[in-house]
Amino acid sequence: MKQTLDYANKVILAPMVRVGTLPMRLLALSFGADIVYSEEIIDWKLLKSERRVNDVLKTVDYVDKTDGTIIFRTCEKEKGKVVLQLGTANAERALQVGLKLQGDIAALDVNMGCPKDFSIKGGMGVALLYDLERAKGILKTLVDNLNIPVTCKIRIMPELEDTIRTVQELESTGIAAIAVHGRTKIERPRHPVHPDVIREVAKVAKIPVIANGGSQEMNKRSDILKFRDACGASSVMVARAAQWNCSIFRAEGQLPIEEIIDRYLRLAIEYDNPPSNTKYCVQMILRDLQESEKGRKFLDSQTLEQICDVFSLGQYCRAKQLEYHNAGIQGRRQAAPQRDDNEQDENCPSKKAKVENNGIGEEVIQHNISFIRVNYNDAIYFQFQM
């Protein structure tokens, strides 16, 4: 049976690379977001991943088997509200991903708006708007074969007529909604957004239109709704304003930065979020405050414990990590990567080998390990690079 997701009159956390991971999505929901999008994840990454139920964290993890990296993590708290945004240029790969993840997500969104060179050179993102038949083929394949809603996120074209035509063509595939970022391929956040173009699109579209791109004018929830209304859209999607202060979704007004960081870090600890991703998200919240004394101390931190020490959560972090360790959690440090060439048995990643030592064959055990930068000093790291 085909599942549905109501896209009308919703306030949504937009997909943001390195920001839209589980802790930030849960934080947005706690402040009043109705739907949350993951960061864009490339199809190949998800196809290489393995689905694992994490009994310690009570999450579902999609894990890169080669190095233990968590590609996508979700939990019951966001069930029915999390949309995975997919980076793809191939209908077959996109469908494989959709079939693999549709039991764990509320909907699948295809990124057709990213203007970065990486996406464009791979035929993904905004490149799909200039290869409309391919774009339609991807969406139609997903719509026809998945039991969850399919959407896409686009940018406007230089000419209004082209934008409207593109939306109508994409709409014809049967997608459930379309998000429209009100800037063109070459425009960046410093350029004015074009709500008038989104408004014209919303007039002709037969599916919900989600307005995006108004963060520069948003300081409170009422500003979010004001932008939606200016665009004549069904719903509105917030990126940078939520990245800076996720409590912008609160009807009661924004909370101080210190409280946002505290709440975010507690979620990062509870869901064992990677320190590099946690640090990046806190940097986005701090912004200019990175130049303060506390900010500089934070920038010197590398581990999750060190980050939490700066914000008086070190003891809580260590206690939670010890709890998880005793419960048998398998983090990247414990991950035994598997070879893609299937040389190793999945349940036995180690193997025996012979090495010659002065003509005498000695048996050693070879075992794959995850390379985690902070585990090695500069001298060892330099040797690895030689």
114 is catalytic: yes
- Using CA atoms, how far residue 10 sits from 27, 29, 177, 245, 296, in Å, is 17, 12, 12, 19, 38
In 3D, which of 37, 209, 24, 30 has the Cα closest to residue 111? 37
Q: Which of 18, 13, 14 is nearest to 282 (CA)?
A: 18
Q: How far apart are CA 103 and CA 336, in angstroms?
A: 27
Could you tell me which residues come within 8 angstroms of residue 111 by beta carbon, excluding any fewer than 6 positions away?
15, 40, 85, 86, 87, 88, 119, 124, 125, 152, 153
- The pairing of strands 360-366 and 351-357 is antiparallel
Token reading at 3 = 């599942």
Q: Which of 114, 152, 231, 281 is catalytic?
A: 114
Tell me which H or E stretch contains 50: strand 49-54
**Measuring CA to CA, which residue among 159, 170, 226, 233 is closest to residue 199?**
233
Q: How far is CA 342 from CA 64, 262, 338, 354, in A?
A: 14, 43, 8, 20
Position of tokens 């030592």? 357
Residue pointed to by tokens 């709890």 = 323
Q: How many CB atoms lie within 10 A of CB 178?
A: 25
Tokens 């074209």 belong to which residue?
157
DSSP conformational letter for 88: -
Specify the length of the chain in residues: 386
Known catalytic residues are 114
